[in-house]
Amino acid sequence: MGSEGPKAITIHVTGFKKFLGVSENPTEKIANNLKSYVEKRGLPSGLTLGSCTVLETAGDGARSKLYQVLESSVAVAGDKNNNGTVVWLHLGVNSGATKFAIERQAVNEAHFRCPDELGWQPQRLPIVVEDGSISKAKETSCSTESIFKLLKQRGFDVVQSDDAGRFVCNYVYYHSLRFAEQKGHKSLFVHVPLFSKINEDTQMQFVVSLLEAIAATC
């Protein structure tokens, strides 16, 4: 009956705290400030910014906390009793980068070049043993090509990547992609540079444009 409105989509966002070599993580500030930034700027109809959470930069020792955060979205979606799309957007910093990078996949390998913030330093271990080989990859179901094109059209310096590293970013992304498969959600990881490479205001604008691009293509 009547015309349908825009498809409902809720995007939950995570960033990370500091870690060895990065004393101030830009994604912590982005995640903490995104709600107020979006309230001032507004979002397209049908798009809701869900939770914004800052994760410990740690793998195995922070896994239970990660799953608490992911599970919370299932409870919220159930409470709303709608058929809207749920997307997890994970933001991480690449301290050597000068561009934003949309990560297309995660690999089932934890190989940390330095200990994480809880002291764990796995070497060539499978992230999920029952998934088999460390060469196994999981790809996002988000349309990375379409998202990439929309962001380029808006003037952002962005690339697509097939290598999210083997540190905590890849670890979280692999678990999130696996969770999303099981729950019928979507998950996407995007690496950002340090604020010294791309300033904070530009990065905030980028993340809002990213939210809009995800909503337009899901």
3-class SS of residue 193: coil
- Show me where the domains of the chain are located: 9-216
Query: Which long-range contacts link 124-129 to residues 24+ away (Cβ below 8 Å)?
Result: 127/59, 127/170, 127/171, 127/174, 127/175, 128/174, 128/175, 128/178
Per-residue pLDDT tens listing for the chain (218 residues): 444 556 899 999 999 999 988 889 999 999 999 999 999 999 999 999 999 999 999 999 999 999 999 999 886 655 444 568 999 999 999 999 999 999 999 999 999 999 999 999 999 999 999 999 999 999 999 999 999 999 999 999 999 999 999 999 999 999 999 999 999 999 999 999 999 999 999 999 999 999 999 999 98
Global model pTM greater than 0.75: yes
What does CATH list as the number for 9-216?
3.40.630.20
